[in-house]
Structure 1
Amino acid sequence: MNKKNVAYLQIHPKDNVLVALRDLSEGESIGFGGKEFSLRQAVKAKHKFTLNPMLKDEEVYMYGVLVGKVNEDLLEGTLLSTENLRHAAEPFKLAARKLDWERPDVSAFEGRTFQGFHRSNGTVGTANHWLVIPLVFCENRNVLTLKTALEEKLGYQVQSKDYSNEVDHLIERYKAGASVDDLLNLDLSAGTINQEQKRLFPNVDGVKFLNHDMGCGGTRMDSDALCGLLAGYITHPNVAGATVLSLGCQHAQASILKAEILKRDPHFDKPLYVFEQQLEGTEQDLMQKAIKATFSGLVQADQLKREPAGLDKLCIGLECGGSDGFSGISANPTLGYISDMLISLGGSVILSEFPELCGVEQELSDRCLNEEMAERFMQLMKVYNAKAEADGSGFYMNPSPGNIRDGLITDAIKSAGAAKKGGTSPVTAVVDYPELANQKGLNLLCTPGNDVESTTAEVAAGANVVLFTTGLGTPTGNPIAPVIKVSSNTKIYEKMADIIDLNCGTIIDGEESIAEAAHRILDYVIQVASGEIKAKAVLMGQDDFIPWRRGVSL
């Protein structure tokens, strides 16, 4: 779609709706496929309208798949909404393998390398972090105490905007007798920026302090999964070692964590220091031992330096959040093209967010390398949706109010666009949370659609870079893996330039093809993976970390 001034689009020849690429007026003439009609209502950009008259319960297709059924008779040119369209998706079953795919031209990237941190198990990190982790929420305070003691002294305090000047200004005006209206209209644009401090350990990108609300008091399944998730972070190629704080009596035992570490890396040899408060005694004893261990671990981590690595050592997590009606047309298919490029170069990608694969199960299961893998994917989808429905919230309730306002009015519409991130290559692994998903090729990882839970899980599964598309804007990041934000439209890219790295609105604007955008973004990924560019989420210290409770989360 590399054409300027296009007002509407049919995504797939099978589709019986059109997508508005700009705001369209009521009565505006539409010409498509040899027919002309007028719009019955105004249609905002990103929203859909009918191409033909439709009878009640008739099926609506987008991206070539079933995405809903109409609730009433509709004329052509009618705006689709939550009132006249309901969710519907095709049933799925085991079928023949469909493993042919559209290999892109990767000649421009053959032989390219990035500068990464090589680990003894053969993986390569795009960063070099030390972790401080609580095994149970009881240790969150102690982790934060360590953060206060270490972060600024070692030069890892995040460079960020200091808003204290704004508060001082408000206090001054209030004392001078300013009214509420005066205070609300006061210009507070004079904030300062803290300068990044010089690091004591230049080859260590950060000391990351993770907090969570799990480890005890919930189900054993959740605490075991937490240990698996934390093991995924400790063994991650972006991590040099870890300090772990345990209370001692909780469900998430240190022995379970260590077993999960060995499950992921049988020859694990990173520095790992585990302290149990109930064994150590006073907080002072615990803190002093943890500080000494962490400092000595950083000394060891600083010995490692970046060295060249092939692009086959990249494992990219594919994520979307704050999606809009353009996400499935611009940013997501661009990530799909990058996915196919990286896989052609021998790398790995992870597609997750299972509630946002509803309606495309047949296509993805058909792309699985073998029937056993396809059966596992379908079973994970069925079990997950059944749990959601048992709690009165099936996959059909996944779209958020923001999604709906911007044109994603059924889960199947949202899913069909979200799945475009996975490209066209065969599925080489189907993985349940919180297992590793770093096989060469396309990995399907069962996670919620929740942005932070899913990103947290993708990184634990092995993603050393995350590409995150957004149409509405979202500040999500990750403690150890750079999260690169890609906008679906130019307006949000320009409006939220402080949190969004790259723009795919150029595709909607007719300035760039999907292939051209993919080449541009992959080149940026290589620079981020090499430490030459910092992603906006890294610069802003967006270290979001939320483990998934295996109850229902969409």
Structure 2
Amino acid sequence: MPLDTAAPNALRLNGADNVAIALRRIAAGERIGHEATTAIEAIGNGHKVALAAIAAGQPVLKYGQVIGVATADIAAGAHVHSHNLGLSGLRQDAAAAPAWSRQEPARSFQGYRRANGKVGVRNYVGILTSVNCSSTVARHIAEAAERTGLLAKFPNVDGVVPITHASGCGMAASGDGFEVLRRTLWGTGANPNFGAVLLVGLGCEVIQIARLKADYGLVEDDSFQTFTIQEVGGTRRAIAEGLERLAGLLAVADRARRSDIPAGELVLGLQCGGSDGWSGVTSNPALGVASDRLVALGGTVLLSETPEIYGAEHLLYARARTPEVSGKLRARLDWWEDYTRRNGAEMDNNPSPGNKAGGLTTILEKSLGAVAKSGASPLNDVIEYAEPVRERGLVFMDSPGFDPCSATGQVASGATLIAFTTGRGSAFGCKPSPSIKLSSNSELYARQADDIDIDCGPIATGAATIEEKGAEILDYLLQVASGAQSQSEALGYGGAEFVPWQIGAVM
């Protein structure tokens, strides 16, 4: 099929930029968009092309921000990527953000108001494990509930979710690793998308159930039960015990009913994975609009993946509600710089090979696009991984950039929904909190239609605006919150994506 030469083939995102982004594959000799520059070599879709000559050592600008410096002389019309663009310590100044105000008409969804006042969007029963050694028993209990027809007796329960993991022992009984794991375990169990929870241990592990209950003030009742495999007499008896306990927990959870809930009760986790050159142009800014609209409704939005804001942190400092909030974010970045140095890595080891194939070159470029998910509202708080959310509005939760690990922490912090943008086609889902997928480009949407909920690609061609897509995303989030299945839920994702952050020595 011949190219539509009347349609623009590239886009300059900011008047200060000295690169444009290819809207499709550009052949050598083609004029670049509406610029006076001609491509001197082929440029891949989503990749950068120089609009003017850039001397070695000079900054390269995209989004009006420095994304690195030229490592060699770059001719006008040349491909700008890893072979001639490197990381830089240069940053554009970020002025203090203006006073933010956005008005939204009241919105609501059909959710579950729990006894403690929190609101869920799903009604699962969870089987939590204190240690990897109890994972098989937890899985067998959940499978038996389905196989024997037990689950079918409780139509108001969305399912039984075994929360299994690879740790819980062979670790110190104090320190960062211990605190992060137990915070993640109980935070997940406390997520309001669970109507009831069964906690199963082995009995001799480091993460002791008795200590967990004492430290968090947990009391067993008709919606929270615990036991260990060793105390009930081994695997078969533990499965039988679990099924008996589960029947009571299912009956309790089954009493829950959806009711009309203000949209401001939602807690939304923001994720991006398999990003490409369009992620920061289409899907992430559109999600940013949806995030702002949810914040204006009184909701909470969690931005995370600390290594993927590196290089764009100055934009978040400018939006911090107070100097103390800005200082907490700086402290987390300082910790990460030390953490990566101690482990023989660097903060700019990102982007991944897939990101680079999609047109992203430096962590600065990736981070500038990633931060766009958070919109423009003030940064109200910074919390550590899996810490409970304390403030409404935009909150930053510290986490690795590995998506399943980051989303696990967000769910433990209280996220009841996950919005996940992707340009390359990440395969992810989450339980108990449903995940929706947003594609940055229409080619991906056409190729993986069963995985993607909303295509943000039309923004690049002018067929839709960022505001229009943001409105579509918010509408869809409220539909999913009210019970509509996301694509990842329909595909059965979420059973193997619980990935707590492991810090410290395994002994």
Q: TM-score, normalised by structure 1?
A: 0.85
Partner of 2:121: 126
SS at match of 1:151: helix
Question: How do residues 126-165 of structure 1 correspond to structure 2 at under 5 angstroms?
Answer: 126-154=121-149
Residue 416 of structure 1 pairs with residue 368 of structure 2? yes
* Residue 384 (structure 2) pairs with residue 432 (structure 1): yes
Asked whether the 8 Å contact 1:15–1:61 carries over to 2, the reply is yes
1:117 has 2:112 as partner = yes
Query: 1:64-213 alignment to 2 at 5 Å?
Result: 64-90=64-90, 98=97, 100-101=99-100, 103-104=101-102, 106=104, 110-154=105-149, 199-213=152-166
Q: How many residues align?
A: 496
Q: 1:97, CA displacement in angstroms?
A: 5.1
After superposing the two structures, state which structure 1 stretch, 210-219 or 147-156, moved more.
147-156
CA–CA distance in structure 1, aligned partners of residues 130 and 249 of structure 2: 19
Asked if structure 2 preserves the Cα contact closer than 8 Å seen for 1:99 and 1:426, the reply is: no
User: Structure 1's 389 and 433: CA in aligned 2 closer, same or farther, altered over 3 A?
Assistant: same
What stretches of structure 2 of length at least 5 have no aligned partner?
Answer: 1-5
CA distance in 2, matches of 1:31, 1:399: 27
Counterparts of 2:432 and 2:468 in 1: how far apart (Å)?
29
Q: Does the alignment pair 1:251 with 2:253?
A: no
Tell me whether 1:214 sits opposite 2:167 in the alignment: yes
Distance 2:388 2:130 in 1: 20
Q: Which moved more, 1:270-279 or 1:116-125?
A: 270-279
Deviation for aligned residue 1:497:
1.2
Name the stretch that deviates more: 348-357 or 54-63: 54-63
**2:3 matched residue in structure 1:** none
Q: Residues of 2 paired with 1:5 and 1:268: CA distance? A: 65
1:29 and 2:31 aligned = yes
- 60-69 or 206-215, larger mean C-alpha shift: 60-69
Task: Tell me the CA shift for residue 259 of structure 1.
Answer: 4.9
User: Which residue identity lines up with residue 114 of structure 1 in the other structure?
Assistant: F
Q: Distance in 2 between matches of 1:506 and 1:96?
A: 31
Deviates more, 1:267-276 or 1:67-76: 267-276
Which of 343, 352, 361 is residue 391 of structure 1 equivalent to? 343
Q: Which secondary structure does the structure 2 equivalent of 1:37 belong to?
A: coil
1:343 alignment partner in structure 2? 295
Deviations 1:292-334 (A, max 9, x none): 1111000011011000000001111111111111111110000
Give unpaired runs (5+ residues) of structure 1: 157-198
Pick one of 517, 522, 528 that aligns with 2:480. 528
> Within 5 Å, which residues of 2 pair with 1:255-294?
255-259=210-214, 261-262=216-217, 271-294=223-246
Maintained 8 Å contact 1:360/1:419? yes
- How far 1:227 sits from its partner (Å)? 1.2
Is the partner of 1:338 in helix, strand or coil?
helix
Contact map agreement 1:334 1:515 (CA 8 A) in 2:
yes
Amino acid at match of 2:61: Y
Aligned-residue Cα RMSD (Å) equals 2.2
Asked if 1:500 is matched to 2:449, the reply is no
Q: Secondary structure at the match of 2:165?
A: coil
State the match for 2:18 in structure 1: 16
Contact 1:355 / 1:385 at 8 angstroms: preserved in 2? no
Report percent identity of matched pairs.
35
Deviations 1:465-508 (A, max 9, x none): 11111111122011101100111111111111111111111212
Q: Secondary structure at the match of 1:308?
A: strand
The verdict on how the C-alpha distance between 1:295 and 1:379 changes in structure 2, with shifts beyond 3 A counting, is same
**Equivalent residue of 2:153, what SS?**
coil
Could you tell me how far 1:105 is from its partner in structure 2?
A: 5.6
Structure 2 partner of 1:300:
252
Q: Secondary structure at the match of 1:455?
A: helix
Distance 1:255 1:155, change over 3 A: closer
Q: Displacement, 1:286?
A: 2.2
Give the C-alpha shift of residue 446 in structure 1.
0.4
* 1:290 counterpart SS class: helix
Cα 1:410–1:54 shift into 2, 3 Å: same
- Matched-pair contact (CA < 8 Å) for 1:99–1:369: no
Cα separation, 2, equivalents of 1:326 and 1:281: 56
Q: CA deviation at 1:64?
A: 2.2
1:120-156 per-position Cα deviation (integer Å, ceiling 9, x unaligned) = 2221100011001210011112112212311233476
TM-score after normalising by structure 2: 0.93
Report the Cα offset of residue 373 of structure 1: 1.2
Give the drift of 1:290. 1.6
Q: Give, as a single letter, the amino acid of the residue that structure 1 aligns with 2:8.
A: V
- Offset of residue 31 of structure 1: 5.8
Specify the code of the residue in structure 1 equivalent to 2:106. Answer: G
